[in-house]
Amino acid sequence: MPDHPLTFVYAALAAIVTGVLAAIATRVQLLPDVIDLSLIPTGAGLGSLLLVGYGALRRFEHERIGRLALLGTLVGGVTTAAGVLIAWIVEVLS
């Protein structure tokens, strides 16, 4: 692993951009339906990546970064699930 934390952050940002672009491409049918992105695991992973990147930039200890990864997974998954639920309710009520 490189010594400089920005290398890790750049890789995390590239992964986030790739995930977002793949989700958009799937939604607008640029990619076939065979490629299925589950929203909740994707949101959980993105939340984890964001908090781990934050911890790396702040140079937290390894144990604290591990706890941030777990928290990011939980927060990202719950936030995505809430967003999906709200979108479903809006769709049903309209």
Domain boundaries, the chain: 5-93
Looking at the chain, how many residues does it have?
94
Six-digit token string for 90 = 């809006």
Q: What is the mean pLDDT of the chain?
A: 82
Q: So what's the pLDDT on residue 21?
A: 80
Query: 58 pLDDT exceeds 60?
Result: yes
For 16-42, what is each residue's pLDDT tens digit?
Answer: 888 888 777 666 666 555 555 678 888
Q: So what's the pLDDT on residue 88?
A: 81
Q: CA 66, 72, 75: angle at the middle one, nearest 5?
A: 145
Percent of the chain clearing pLDDT 70 (strictly above): 83
Distance (Å, rounded) from C-alpha 31 to C-alpha 72?
28
Q: So what's the pLDDT on residue 2?
A: 57
Q: So what's the pLDDT on residue 20?
A: 82
What value does the mean pLDDT take over residues 73-84?
Answer: 88
Q: CA 40 → CA 2, 37, 89, distances in Å? A: 31, 9, 17
Q: So what's the pLDDT on residue 32?
A: 58
